[in-house]
Chain A
Amino acid sequence: MSLQWIGKPINRVGGVERATGAQKYIGDLRLDNMLHARLVRLDIGRARIDRIDTRAARRVKGVRAIFSAGDLPVPMPRFGPSAADQPLLAVGETKFHGEPVAIVVADDEDAAEEAAALVKVKYTELPGVYTIDAALDPASALVQDPALRSANQYARSNIMKEWHFGWGNVNQVVPQQVVENTYTFPMISHFAIEPFTFLAAPLKDGVEVYSAIQHPFGLQRIIAKALSLPVAKVRIIAPDPGGGFGGKGYPKHEPLLAWTAMQMGRPVRLALSLEESFQVARRAACQVHVRTGFTTEGYLLFQDLEANFLVGAYTDITERVISKSSYIATGAYSIPNVRIVARGLFSHTAPSTAFRGFGVPQLNWAIESQMNEAARLLGIDAVELRRRNIPKKDEVIVLNDTPADGNWVESLDKTAKAIHWGAPLPPNNGRGIAMGIKPSATTANSNTFVRLLHDGSALVFSGTSDMGQGARTIFSQIVSEQLSIPLEKVTIYSGDTAQVPFDVSTSASRSTVFMGNAVLKACADIRSKLVNMACEHFGMPPEQVKVDGGCVCVAGMRLSFADLIREYYGPTRGEVLGYGETRGKYIPSHPLGGKVSFWEVIAVGVEVEVDTATGYVTVKKIVNSSDVGKALNPKQVETQDEGATVMGLGHTFMEHLILDSHGRILNLGALDYRIPTIQDIPFDIESYLIENQDGPGPYGSKGVSESGVIAISPAISAAVYEACGVAIRDLPLTPERVWRALQG
């Protein structure tokens, strides 16, 4: 059957509102009788808080309250998506640069800002842990109080946790070629263009929190726990985020603001500056030491990999980031012997959290660079080397998990062809290629209601947040296709826990598959109810009733949905409510809690030119080929791949948070941090979508949106090597770094 809406490059739902400024983001919302808050932060990493003097601050006109740790309940409420270890305000000491020590509440923003600057905090700098080496050094200070995690065997060290994955025996095989290296990936910032803003308003017996959060239900659970409220008494309202990338996945200051609003008995707004937004979330730095063994023909024999992730002072979601990414530290290859050791290391730095790619970009930088180096050492073409090791569809990729779920070599070959792999190049030019693989969501629950209204239009209630990826568009397309309702008659409601049913998160490229399937089921539910209604009303058996093209065919009639609802309910009308649920099965014994629902796979090829006098690398062309199963909206899929790739160019060439010896971030803000501008990127980016309808999502789709960011760095570094003969193993590949390497 031909598809009318699915597979078409339909313009994004909400695009016009975004282009005209009509879209309301969290920063645009105002509540009646609202107060304004500002946080007091210290310009130091770890410090003991000796005294907080608020006298001058309290004299500022319009100041209503100033709270520090002593004003909060004892013990200090703590929060977090896994370990509840982050305090609402710093207790006794700050554990990272920018950890808030007090909150000032005032009638307007000016007063709050003026007063916050007048809060005098006397502090003493304490020795801090700011690097991977320091975190591993047993002589270093402990970041977390062992009493907070007494059950953890690593409580008396700075190791958060350690994971071991693998099979076979890496020591028993004798390889003909070993590649052994250490790679580093720095801390980087999400830098969504929308900085963080939060609002909280007290309710009679609970609290309402506004946050542009990707996972409203997670925030609801965490606030309820931190403030000892029933979940039903916490309402989260989540406007569409102005960029998320994982940075808006987990709670930041919402628990504190909820508590503050309840204390004040009035709504409170807290808007963070861009600089402050840098101080609340980041990507974990990572150091990877890896030995990879091959036969002379280039077949992988083993992967022996150890990864140290430098996380922040609190756990946040990093246990999941590290376990889930290191789980697939084989890359997109079949390897008979694997040993993976990954650990999270606490440090006195801002909490690291989810960030597009979820730990995989850090590891894949090493894994794919190893493949490129092996190809050079073995004298085997880098594309051919990969072809020999990529599993065929349905072959094992990770033992006891979902097998290879696509014809991944097709992505590789498509990219190689499009980048003109092997064709001659001028001097100082080079090509590079890399694969990327990311495990999608495992155990996870998504629910939706679709309401078919009495005029034949439809409402969808979905907890998925549309942060730019275009979830509203995809769900609208599915409903349109399933119920033959024109796109403009479908409205998506999301982002309010009091309106929409539970959805675990908008993450892991899972929404098209998980929520998409739930929407699909809800539409099927509606169709079956329509048939039942027709059977009952016209006294016909089900086999003589058919739903076809937006109509119900019964007793020789073709009734529109609106007509049937009118016939069935009479002139007072009614509606048809469809429910759909998707669940990734929870398997307690599985290392990730459940099997990977699909693998997100990409092959990236690049062509670069290196200016050997300056070390400056110009990217001339990028090709992405993604294994998407089915592109429900090719334009949106392409924009995800392009956007993720350009984001990856940022961490490849320029981005890194630089700390001084006191743990202070030196490059807070747009100009000092630097993300790619329109002057920094190639315009020749081709995105190919491999569509074999072999995914678990609607119409055979898989999720997309992260793969572009996971494979670009190793492809670039391979191209730089081909162009000028230097191998860079530390990101970012700044001109200085390339130039220094060129000097030998």
Chain B
Amino acid sequence: MKKKTLPITLTVNGIRHTLQVAPNHTLLKVLREQLELTGTKECCGAGECGACTVLLDGRAVNSCLVLAVEADGCQVVTIEGLAGTDPLIDSFVEKGAIQCGFCTPGMILSAKYVLMQHPHPTLEQVQKGLEGNLCRCGGYRRIAEAVLAAAEEGDE
């Protein structure tokens, strides 16, 4: 007996996909395993660490808390969608905001959302926007600096 799946359409990084997904599979699992977009990371699987953050219809969400079927018809942006285009990438590298890098994709997506809401964020706004993203290697300070620097970069 074949497991029950449901059809959905997802537009990921501008590319439209029609997929058959298991009703119990999360957006995270579908992104990583069916679309092979492994830049989105899984850590806690419970919405507590932010490693799996993506933009869903323009809002930062923990993709481990969204069922794939709930994302039917939505626009998704993952880290692969920012690669090569977003000043946050270079800014994180330049400021030394990356060590092991496992939290980095989620951190950058959350930062992206901060900058979408506040093109010129204060440190407090950056902190508020990244408070759900855990990093265990660094001291967060350089991450905040990278976000603030990317905001300036965006002005040029």
Contact A681 B139 (CB under 8 A): yes
Report the nearest B residue to A240, measured CB to CB: B100
Enumerate A577-624 residues with CB–CB distance to B below 8 Å.
none
Enumerate A673-701 residues with CB–CB distance to B below 8 Å.
675-679, 681, 683, 685
Tell me the complex Cα distance, A670–B45, Å: 10
Report the nearest B residue to A642, measured CB to CB: B139
Tell me if A423 is interfacial: C-beta within 8 Å of chain B. no
CB-CB under 8 A from B96, the residues of chain A are: 9, 11-12, 635-636, 638-639
Tell me if B134 is interfacial: C-beta within 8 Å of chain A. yes
With contacts A642-B138, A647-B136, A685-B139 taken as known, whether A19 is within 8 angstroms of B104 at the C-beta atoms is yes
Tell me if B9 is interfacial: C-beta within 8 Å of chain A. no
CB-CB under 8 A from B46, the residues of chain A are: 274, 669-671
Tell me the complex Cα distance, A241–B136, Å: 13
Contact A243 B93 (CB under 8 A): no
Tell me if B113 is interfacial: C-beta within 8 Å of chain A. no
Tell me the complex Cα distance, A17–B108, Å: 13
Q: Which of B45, B102, B130 contacts A242 (CB 8 A)?
A: B102
Tell me the complex Cα distance, A643–B137, Å: 5
Tell me the complex Cα distance, A642–B141, Å: 9
Contact A20 B89 (CB under 8 A): yes
Chain B contact residues, majority secondary structure: loop
Tell me if A123 is interfacial: C-beta within 8 Å of chain B. no
Tell me if A421 is interfacial: C-beta within 8 Å of chain B. no
Tell me if B40 is interfacial: C-beta within 8 Å of chain A. yes
Contact segment of A82-90, A96-104, A192-200: A192-200
Tell me if B18 is interfacial: C-beta within 8 Å of chain A. no
Contact segment of A21-29, A452-460, A486-494, A736-744: A21-29
Contact A678 B140 (CB under 8 A): yes
Tell me if A718 is interfacial: C-beta within 8 Å of chain B. no
CB-CB under 8 A from B120, the residues of chain A are: none
Tell me if B6 is interfacial: C-beta within 8 Å of chain A. no
Most interface-central of A25, A193, A274 (chain B CB within 10 A): A193
Most interface-central of B3, B80, B99 (chain A CB within 10 A): B99
Contact segment of A323-331, A465-473, A510-518: A465-473
- A667 CB to nearest chain B CB (Å): 12
Contact B136 A23 (CB under 8 A): no
Contact B100 A241 (CB under 8 A): yes
CB-CB under 8 A from B103, the residues of chain A are: 193
Tell me if B34 is interfacial: C-beta within 8 Å of chain A. no
CB-CB under 8 A from A240, the residues of chain B are: 100
- A80 CB to nearest chain B CB (Å): 26
Tell me if A397 is interfacial: C-beta within 8 Å of chain B. no
Contact B99 A468 (CB under 8 A): yes
Contact A193 B136 (CB under 8 A): yes
Q: How many residues of chain B get a CB closer than 8 Å to chain A's CBs?
A: 58
With contacts A193-B136, A468-B101 taken as known, whether A20 is within 8 angstroms of B82 at the C-beta atoms is yes
Contact A19 B49 (CB under 8 A): no
Q: Which of A28, A645, A678 contacts B38 (CB 8 A)?
A: A28
Report the nearest B residue to A679, measured CB to CB: B131
- A731 CB to nearest chain B CB (Å): 18
Contact A642 B134 (CB under 8 A): no
Interface string of A187-229 (1 = CB under 8 A from B): 0001111110000000000000000000000000000000000
CB-CB under 8 A from B142, the residues of chain A are: 639, 642
CB-CB under 8 A from A25, the residues of chain B are: 41, 102
Interface string of B75-99 (1 = CB under 8 A from A): 0001110111000111011101011
- B41 CB to nearest chain A CB (Å): 7
Enumerate B103-147 residues with CB–CB distance to A below 8 Å.
103-105, 108, 123, 126-127, 130-144
- B98 CB to nearest chain A CB (Å): 5
CB-CB under 8 A from B39, the residues of chain A are: 20-22
Q: How many residues of chain A get a CB closer than 8 Å to chain B's CBs?
A: 57
Report the nearest A residue to B93, measured CB to CB: A15
- A467 CB to nearest chain B CB (Å): 6
Tell me if B1 is interfacial: C-beta within 8 Å of chain A. yes
Contact A195 B43 (CB under 8 A): yes
Tell me if B51 is interfacial: C-beta within 8 Å of chain A. yes
Contact A21 B136 (CB under 8 A): no
Most interface-central of A28, A61, A240 (chain B CB within 10 A): A28
Contact A671 B105 (CB under 8 A): no
Tell me the complex Cα distance, A681–B102, Å: 20
- B9 CB to nearest chain A CB (Å): 23
Contact A23 B139 (CB under 8 A): no
Tell me if B35 is interfacial: C-beta within 8 Å of chain A. no
Tell me the complex Cα distance, A25–B38, Å: 9
CB-CB under 8 A from B89, the residues of chain A are: 16, 19-20
Most interface-central of A9, A20, A646 (chain B CB within 10 A): A20
Contact A639 B99 (CB under 8 A): yes
Contact B133 A470 (CB under 8 A): no
Contact B84 A20 (CB under 8 A): yes
Interface string of A1-22 (1 = CB under 8 A from B): 0000000010110111111111
Tell me the complex Cα distance, A96–B93, Å: 41
- A17 CB to nearest chain B CB (Å): 8
With contacts A468-B100, A670-B49 taken as known, whether A22 is within 8 angstroms of B83 at the C-beta atoms is yes
Report the nearest B residue to A242, measured CB to CB: B102
Most interface-central of B82, B88, B90, B101 (chain A CB within 10 A): B101
Report the nearest B residue to A684, measured CB to CB: B141
Report the nearest B residue to A680, measured CB to CB: B140
- B109 CB to nearest chain A CB (Å): 10
Contact B127 A678 (CB under 8 A): yes
Q: Which of B108, B137, B138 contacts A19 (CB 8 A)?
A: B108
Contact B136 A675 (CB under 8 A): yes
Contact B108 A677 (CB under 8 A): no
Tell me if A384 is interfacial: C-beta within 8 Å of chain B. no
Tell me the complex Cα distance, A19–B144, Å: 15
Contact A193 B98 (CB under 8 A): no
Contact B131 A193 (CB under 8 A): no
Q: Which of B43, B88, B105, B133 contacts A194 (CB 8 A)?
A: B43
Tell me the complex Cα distance, A17–B105, Å: 10
Tell me the complex Cα distance, A669–B48, Å: 8
Q: Besides A27-B38, A685-B139, 19 other CB < 8 A contacts?
A: A11-B94, A16-B90, A18-B98, A20-B84, A21-B105, A28-B32, A194-B43, A242-B101, A243-B100, A635-B96, A639-B138, A646-B139, A647-B136, A677-B131, A677-B132, A677-B140, A681-B141, A683-B123, A683-B141
22 of the cross-chain contacts (CB-CB < 8 Å) are A11-B94, A15-B101, A20-B80, A21-B78, A21-B79, A23-B101, A193-B100, A241-B100, A242-B41, A242-B101, A242-B102, A243-B100, A274-B46, A470-B99, A639-B96, A639-B99, A639-B142, A642-B142, A643-B137, A678-B133, A683-B140, A685-B139
